[in-house]
Amino acid sequence: MHERKITPLKQVKTKGARPRRKQSDWAKLISEWEASGQSQKAFCEAKDLCYRNFNQWKGRIKKTALTDEANTAVPFIPVRVKERDSATLEAAPTVAVDLPNNIKLSLNIDTASTAALIKSLSEPVC
C-alpha cells in the first residue's frame, strides 16, 4: 500500500481584527482622506482600513448627505403682487412652472412683470 504524502496548507497572513466602526467614525475617516491628498488606496493602507469597506461607506455617506440636502426645507421668498385690472390679466400670457412633487404653478403675467419677477427672485435675500 502506498502512503500518500499530504502537503500542509499555506498559512495565510491575516492582519489583526479591525474594529467595527460607526457611521460617524467612517465620516471622520472620509473627511481625513479628502484633506490628506492621498489616493484612497494609499490612505486605506496607511490607516489599516479595508479599501472595499471604505468605498462602500463613502458611497453610503454621500447618499445620506444628498438625501439630507434634498429633505432640507427651502424657505419661501416673499413676492409682492401689484393689483391689475381683469382686462390686463386676460390679455397676459400664461407662465407655467412645473415644480417637484407634481406641483404646477401657472401665472397670467405680462412680459415686463415676468422679467421683474425673475429679477426679484434672483436677488439675494437678507
Most confident among 4-18, 36-50, 109-123 (mean pLDDT): 36-50
Using 50, 70 and 90 to split pLDDT, how confident is the model at 7?
low
Give the global pTM. Answer: 0.43
Rounded CA separation 121/106 (Å): 16
Across 21-35, 73-87, 100-114, the highest mean pLDDT is recorded for 21-35
- Give residue 66's pLDDT: 72
What's the mean pLDDT in 109-121? 75
Q: What is the DSSP letter of 77?
A: P
Sequence-distant (≥ 6) Cβ neighbours of residue 10 within 8 angstroms: none
